[in-house]
Amino acid sequence: MGLSVKQKHLLRVILSWFAGIIMFFPIFWVVLTSFKTELQAISVPPLLFFEPTLENFILVQERSDYFTYAINSVITSFGATLLALLIAVPGAYAMAFWPSRFTKDILLWMLSTKMLPAVGVLMPIYLLVQKAGLLDTRTALVIIFAMINLPIIVWMLFSYFKEVPREILESARMDGATTIEEITRVLLPLTKGGILSTALLSIVLCWNEAFWSINLTASDAGTLTALVASYSSPEGLFWAKLSAVSTLACAPIVVFGWFCQKQLVQGLTFGAVK
Amino acid sequence: MKFFRILPLTMFAMAAGSLSAGELTIATVNNGHMIEMQKLTGNFEEANPGITVNWVTLEEGVLRQRVTTDITTKGGQFDVMTIGMYEAPIWGSRGWLEELTFDASYDVDDILPAMRGGLSSDGKLYAAPFYGESSMIMYRKDLVEAAGMSMPDNPTWGHIQDVAAAITNKDEGVYGVCLRGKPGWGDNMAFITTMANSFGARWFDENWMPQLDSAAWHHTIDFYINLLNNYGPPGSSGNSFNEILALFNEGKCGMWIDATIAASFISDPGQSKVADQVAFAQSPVAVTNRGANWLWAWALAVPAGTKQADDAKKFIEWATSKEYIELVAATNGWGSVPTGTRQSTYDNANFQNAAVFADAELKAILSANPSNSTQDPTPYTGVQFAAIPEFQAIGIAVGQQMSAALAGDISVQEALANAQEAADREMSKAGYY
């Protein structure tokens, strides 16, 4: 006996909630732990109810200049996304509307660069950055973040651009539009939902990037992920403080994502239903 | 198009911000003493106008990797580095660190001889100890007394096993003994090496041949695994310092053999539920008391490539001085001062009153001898490590085998055979034989 439509709907709702709770629980627990003392944080069994304290947040602000790290995160995330889009838009345009017999290979090759673990190229990248005099600068992070997200951005833009009928661009060209005008006045307005969602995804990926930020920065250009990593301690309890700094690091991007979720979903489903 | 003109300028502006003269960048780990030093840096800056200090706090593993990369590529990112007793003599002898010399007021002879020796190479001091530690037994005197047992100051491993059996109460969630099991040359292998030293084992013979398949290593690992399987907490193969600290502070461990620095945490009522019940004894011994307790220091060093060596040395002189210790005491009390570095700290009556662990800690540090830590002769120095560049890789590989054996994934026999093979491969590759 099969399930009725109502039962199927209920099952879907339950499964969705279950998946949502599973994904949200670690974040909830980090936020909860950030309001505990170190002793409460290690309590067995774990405490769900306790007298909350703000001491960890105060301590984090006392010990580290949170806003410097936050500003670095904002600059590197937005800067890298902008730089990547500047490179990816013409690239994706060329591949979507002027494909050659190597286009698919190029796309696959670009994606394959994401399969290499970052640590595999740590030394060459470190030496390049060092020789360029860019160690501990936001410029280095902007360039590297842009490069590591470029394959994904090109792929996404390529998919969105493919949805645009070639005839629209051809008619613009017949009306005398240059290639730059064709892109900026016709293609970009038509795909702005997709571009925006790509940009949002890139910003989130850059914000959460830790490996390069930890390895290439020192006192000036550290981002929030580097700040979070610095709260791990070899000797001494640190869970509550680490949770507090993690909460502070996640908060801006979560709020940002919350405000942009409509555009994000709209963009990601662009062209999904014809 | 305006944007394209602005972009290079913006990027140049972002790149600007490199350190100007008089700015010191110090790489360090996140622990209580180091954080306190950061807070007190203002005193140094006030006393040395023109010098400002920037701190870079890194996770221990990342710190090692970053300072190694910086020093080998002459990156020049750091003017002062926090390094350990393992790195100091190796890097010093290679010319990667500046030799440290101080004037008479610094009183270098006040630094504990074991610390000074461990941070030197060919008689030259390459790093100044900021805080030092050995290892010792920390135990719950209430549990030991309730079980009708006692804890001598220098117990044997056999006695530790008997006490563990008597105080373990798994129904109540109390485990007789908690020991490191998490793989890592500075995690499980630091502890296991001291235990192996005491059981008569050694890492290498006089010809640098690995000795991990010896009978002494077999006895050590058999004993270690049986002890933890019978009287240790579940999941010991994932436990290191912090995990056991959490267990001990929760009242789940009867005995813990680990870094002396733990004593200040477990006897602090703000952190520990059993603070008033802890007592201390020296590390257990088996066939020899050589190398039964380790020796370690977090120390400050100046990389050879820095352009601000003089300012960097000034900072180290300040941070590792007697005056700094007095400054911490005046600010936070004698119970919070960095220990394990200077004899004058232990001679101070205020410190003795504030730190219940002072005597046990000093005794442990003074008894550790990196130059003579095994029953049979060896060509290396170091108690819980062999101070050669290859040890880090070997220690990690061997640590993984020991952890796997503890988890029950492989037998002790297999673990030691694999460990021997890994060590042999590494030493042979490095050209030791």
* Residue B237 DSSP class: G
Which residues in A have their CB inside 8 Å of a CB on B?
38-39, 42-44, 63-64, 75, 79, 123, 126-127, 130, 133-139, 142, 214-215, 218-222, 229-238
Nearest to B76 by CA among B314, B304, B317, B310: B304
pLDDT tens string B257-308: 999 999 988 988 888 899 999 999 999 999 999 999 999 999 999 999 888 9
Calculate helix-pair angle for A66-97, A103-112, nearest 10 degrees. Answer: 160
**pLDDT at position B140:** 97
The arithmetic mean of pLDDT across residues B91-111, rounded, is 94
The arithmetic mean of pLDDT across residues B179-191, rounded, is 95
What is the predicted ipTM? Answer: 0.77
User: What CATH architecture does domain B5-133+295-354 belong to?
Assistant: 3-Layer(aba) Sandwich (3.40)
**pLDDT at position B113:** 92
CA distance A72 to A138: 7
**Closest chain B residue to A216, measured at CA:** B66
Q: Identify the residue with better confidence: A80 or B356.
A: A80
**Closest chain A residue to B28, measured at CA:** A230
Q: Which of B31, B78, B249 sits opposite A235 (nearest CB)?
A: B31
Q: Tell me the whole-structure pTM to 2 decimals.
A: 0.83
**pLDDT at position B96:** 92
Task: Provide the β-strand partners of residue B84.
Answer: B298
Nearest to B179 by CA among B169, B170, B188, B168: B188
Contacts for A123 with CB less than 8 Å, ≥ 6 apart = B69
CB contact under 8 A, A220 and B249: no
Alpha-helical segments (H) within A98-187: 103-112, 122-131, 138-162, 166-174, 179-181
CB contact under 8 A, A237 and B265: yes
**pLDDT at position A79:** 97
Residues in chain B with CB shorter than 8 Å from the CB of A241 are none
Is pLDDT of B233 > 80?
Answer: yes
Minimal CA separation from A38 to chain B, in Å = 7
Query: Could you give the percent of chain B with pLDDT greater than 70?
Result: 95
B6: pLDDT confidence band, cut at 50, 70 and 90? Answer: very low
CB pairs under 8 A between A and B: 115
Nearest to A79 by CA among B7, B12, B4: B7
CA distance B254 to A45: 19
- Residue ranges in chain A modelled with pLDDT below 50: 273-274
Q: What count of residues does chain A have?
A: 274
DSSP string, B123-162: TEE--EEEEEEEEEEEEEHHHHHHTT----SS-BHHHHHH
What are the sequence ranges of the domains in chain B? Answer: 5-133+295-354, 135-294+376-429
3.40.190.10, 1.10.3720.10, 1.20.140.10, 3.65.10.10: which CATH number matches B135-294+376-429?
A: 3.40.190.10
**pLDDT at position A245:** 95
Residue B316 CB-half CA count within 13 A = 32
The arithmetic mean of pLDDT across residues B313-339, rounded, is 94
CA distance A212 to A134: 13
Is pLDDT of B13 > 70?
Answer: no
Q: Which of A75, A230, A236 sits opposite B57 (nearest CB)?
A: A230
CA A26, distance to chain mean position in Å, is 18
Residue A172's identity, in one-letter code, is A
Q: Which of A43, A79, A237 sits opposite B242 (nearest CB)?
A: A237
Q: Does B135-294+376-429 match B5-133+295-354 at the fold level?
A: yes
pLDDT tens string B25-57: 999 988 888 888 999 999 999 999 999 999 998
Q: How far apart are the first and last CA of chain A?
A: 34
Is pLDDT of B61 > 90?
Answer: no
